[in-house]
Amino acid sequence: MAVKKPQQQLESTALESSLPLKKSKPAATAEALDNLIHERTRLSLISALAAHPSLSFSELKELLQMSDGNLSVQARKLEEAGYISCEKRFVGRTPRTEFALTDDGRAALQRYVAHMEALIKTMKPLKATNKG
């Protein structure tokens, strides 16, 4: 019988401990995770919009400490998914880009939060059994 290296043991233990997740509610499975929102930058962006009726490009850039290019790319991905809306207008002669969370975006964020809560709930018993 081959002796497992520590990394193999860790991977094996992680795999075995993840097995109950497959038997649990769909909200706690990896397949239910919205990868579009799960990415850290987009999660920050959608969370900021959930806390405000709308935010300008400049406000989001400052709040999230993002570059113009990164904010544009991430916002476009969320807009293409229908999670946020983007309105471009002029205030006087100054262009202003406003972002807002759509109903679909709010629902997606709520599903994401429910998924993470279910995952945390599932992991708490595993943490208790691993202490022994």
13, part of any domain: no
122 is a domain residue:
yes
CA pair distance 106, 51, nearest whole angstrom: 11
- pTM to 2 decimals? 0.70
Q: What is the CATH number of the domain that holds 89?
A: 1.10.10.10
Structural domain boundaries, residue 55: 26-127
Whole-angstrom distance, CA of residue 93 vs CA of residue 82 = 29
Measured from the Cβ of residue 41, the count of other Cβ atoms closer than 10 Å reads: 15
| Domain presence at residue 45 | yes
Residue 132 maps to a domain? no
What is the structure's pLDDT at 77? 97
Residue 1 lies in a domain: no
Q: Return the structure tokens found at 69.
A: 């290019």
Alpha-carbon span 23 to 17, nearest angstrom: 12
Residue 10 belongs to some domain of the structure: no
Alpha helices (H) along the chain: 6-23, 35-38, 40-50, 57-64, 68-80, 103-130
Whether the CB-CB separation of 80 and 86 falls below 8 Å is answered with: no
pLDDT tens over the chain, length 132 residues: 455 444 444 344 343 444 444 444 444 556 667 889 999 999 999 999 999 999 999 999 999 999 999 999 999 999 999 999 999 999 999 999 999 999 999 999 999 999 989 888 888 776 666 665
Name the domain count of the chain: 1
Nearest-angstrom CA–CA distance, 65 and 106: 23
pLDDT score of 126: 65
* 39 lies in some domain: yes
pLDDT of residue 12: 40
Residue 31 lies in a domain: yes
